[in-house]
Amino acid sequence: MIRLLTCLIAGALFGLGLAVAQMTNPLKVQNFLDVAGDWDPSLAFVMGAAVLITLVMFRVVLKRASPLLGERFHLPNSLKVDRPLIMGSALFGVGWGMTGYCPGPALATLLSGNGEVLLFVPAMLLGGFLHRTFGHRA
């Protein structure tokens, strides 16, 4: 029960952070990507802060033998940059640039009633399902 409550609190905190930073607004993302037009650099500061906090906290957390609420850490086994990784990253970037949504902000915006996100989230879930079912298995 404590693990589920912790997940709920962490997810709510993440969603609140996205909302406060206005990352749930797709125009904020699209204006960041529009370097030749109405460029908005604020997304770079949000991402920079997230990367800096992650770099520091990973070093702190991974000094522990195991997570507080789990048996082991779940870290990637491979550092290989291969075709599926590059294609998936490119597809993610194109989708993010076209819609202004990535999975976290889209889910955080889901209950807003925004018609765009109500189309995006099912399409995102369907894409994940299709990849899991028919995608390349490494």
Q: What is the pLDDT of residues 7-21, one digit of tens each?
A: 999 989 988 988 888
Q: Domain span at residue 33? A: 2-134
Determine the Cα–Cα distance for residues 125 and 101; give it in Å rounded to an integer: 13
Domain count, the chain: 1
Give the pLDDT of residue 44.
92
Give the pLDDT of residue 136.
63
Say how many C-beta atoms besides its own lie within 10 A of residue 18's C-beta. Answer: 20
Determine the Cα–Cα distance for residues 44 and 24; give it in Å rounded to an integer: 15
Query: Which residues, given as ranges, of the chain have pLDDT below 50?
Result: none
Determine the Cα–Cα distance for residues 60 and 65; give it in Å rounded to an integer: 11
The amino acid sitting at 133 is: T
Output the CA–CA distances (angstroms, integers) from residue 42 to 22, 29, 70, 134, in the order listed. Answer: 9, 9, 35, 38
Give the pLDDT of residue 10.
92
The helix/strand/coil state of 1 is coil
What's the whole-model pTM score? 0.71
Determine the Cα–Cα distance for residues 73 and 126; give it in Å rounded to an integer: 28
